[in-house]
């Protein structure tokens, strides 16, 4: 995977270096293009790729074009649109990296035709079925990420068409949540469902599935980032009140922040500055729910406050979505 950091006038404009591997396993490349300073870090197979000066130069130029595209969007459409497009580009980049880990592109270069490529891929998949299986599940997750960002752009641009249908909330939720299982598993967060399948079948939820999917995508991403490891995430639905809830021990939300966290760009005071995120997730949740006449309420039980080994504060937080 290629990691990068782009700087202009001492400001970091674009970076994924928060997950950089050990320095011993990477090659660093530095470039300055049109006033932008860029650091490229290549790991695994990309270590060799960045050793080629021409490829390194073209890679740096490509990332600079991404930043300029983002800045252009922000100037023309505003910050929210620029952030959403940035998230889409990042999701696509992660998808490409996942595919590259399964089938490195250089392995296909010497094939003389399509049938040779098929045989190369078959041999790689058979040789390392574990990596292939994990990669396939990761591709599903990355595809879901991209779809959510596309729906978000449609919502922001005002082109999203509402398509109301009847859905068994148990089926819908598990379909939305399952691509996140690996991320939750890595943080030792167990998902506990509190939904009666028969009740959900008898009382279908009338909503737009794609919009609901996009809203919950951001809630789940936040749950992965901010839930205390080794604690459960409870997901339930009350058919009588038509309320869906997510309850977890996550980063403490102060009382005066309850209404602020749905504002664009707002990040809680107890979130570490080095934690990923731009304060856009809950904003997009609210925008999506408004389209399907649903509301979100946040409850934080400060009587449950605890701290991790880094002294970060956590409380039991509950996110309730009510379908009017």
3-state SS assignment for residue 40: strand
Q: Give per-residue burial for 268-301: e unless 16+ CB within 10 Å, then b.
A: bebbeeeeeeebbbbbbbbbbbebbebebeeebe
CA proximity to 319, closest of 299, 303, 305? 299
Neighbours of 320 (CB within 10 A): 17
Q: Each residue's pLDDT tens digit in the chain (324 positions)?
A: 666 777 777 777 666 655 444 444 566 777 787 777 877 777 655 555 566 666 667 666 776 766 666 666 555 556 666 566 666 766 777 777 778 888 887 888 888 898 999 999 999 999 999 988 988 888 888 888 888 888 887 887 778 889 999 999 999 999 999 999 999 999 999 999 999 999 999 999 999 999 999 999 999 999 999 999 999 999 999 999 999 999 999 999 999 999 999 998 889 999 987 777 778 889 989 999 999 999 999 999 999 999 998 899 999 999 999 998
Both tokens of 245, joined, read: 């809830």
Question: Would you state the pLDDT for residue 80?
Answer: 64
Ranges of each domain in the chain: 1-77, 79-160, 165-323
CA–CA distance, 45 with 50 (Å, rounded to integer):
9
**Is the CB of residue 215 less than 8 Å from the CB of residue 288?**
yes
CA–CA distance, 53 with 37 (Å, rounded to integer):
16
First to last CA, the chain: 45
**Is the CB of residue 269 less than 8 Å from the CB of residue 312?**
no
Both tokens of 250, joined, read: 């996550």
85 phi, psi to nearest 5 deg: -70, -35
Sign of CA dihedral 318, 177, 193, 195: positive
144 burial type by CB count under 10 A (0-12 exposed, 13-18 middle, 19+ buried): buried
**Helix crossing, 79-102 with 53-77: angle to 10°?**
150
Locate tokens 């997750």: which residue?
A: 141
Q: 165-323 has which CATH code?
A: 3.30.565.10
Quote the distance between the C-alpha of residue 148 and its chain's center.
9
Sign of CA dihedral 276, 282, 283, 289: positive
**Is the CB of residue 260 less than 8 Å from the CB of residue 60?**
no
Both tokens of 227, joined, read: 């839930």
């Amino acid at each position: 995977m290629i990691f990068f950091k782009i700087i202009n006038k001492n400001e970091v404009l674009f970076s994924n270096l928060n997950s950089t591997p050990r320095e011993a396993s990477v090659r660093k490349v530095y470039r300055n293009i049109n006033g932008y300073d860029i650091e490229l870090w290549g790991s695994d197979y990309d270590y060799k790729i960045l050793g080629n000066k021409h490829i390194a130069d073209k890679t740096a130029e490509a990332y600079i074009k991404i930043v300029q595209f983002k800045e252009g969007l922000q100037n023309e459409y505003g910050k929210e649109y620029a952030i959403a497009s940035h998230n889409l580009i990042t999701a696509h980049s992660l998808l490409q990296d996942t595919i590259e880990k399964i089938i490195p592109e250089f392995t296909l270069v010497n094939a003389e035709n399509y049938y040779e490529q098929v045989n190369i891929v078959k041999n790689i998949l058979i040789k390392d079925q574990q990596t292939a299986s994990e990669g396939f599940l990761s591709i599903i997750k990355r595809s879901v990420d991209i779809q959510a960002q596309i729906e978000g752009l449609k919502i922001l641009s005002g082109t999203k068409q509402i398509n109301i249908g009847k859905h068994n909330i148990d089926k819908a939720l598990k379909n939305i949540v399952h691509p996140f299982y690996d991320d939750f598993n890595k943080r030792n967060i167990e998902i506990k469902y509190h939904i009666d399948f028969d009740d959900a079948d008898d009382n279908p939820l009338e909503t737009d599935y794609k919009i609901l999917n996009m809203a919950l995508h951001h809630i789940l991403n936040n749950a992965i980032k901010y839930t205390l490891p080794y604690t459960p995430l409870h997901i339930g639905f009350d058919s009588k009140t038509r309320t869906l809830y997510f309850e977890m021990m996550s980063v403490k939300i102060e009382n005066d922040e309850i209404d602020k966290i749905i504002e664009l760009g707002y990040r809680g005071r107890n979130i570490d500055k080095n934690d990923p995120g731009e304060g856009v997730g809950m904003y997009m949740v609210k925008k999506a729910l408004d389209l399907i006449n649903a509301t979100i309420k946040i409850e934080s039980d400060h009587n449950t406050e605890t701290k991790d080994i880094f002294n970060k504060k956590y409380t039991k937080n509950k996110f309730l979505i009510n379908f009017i």
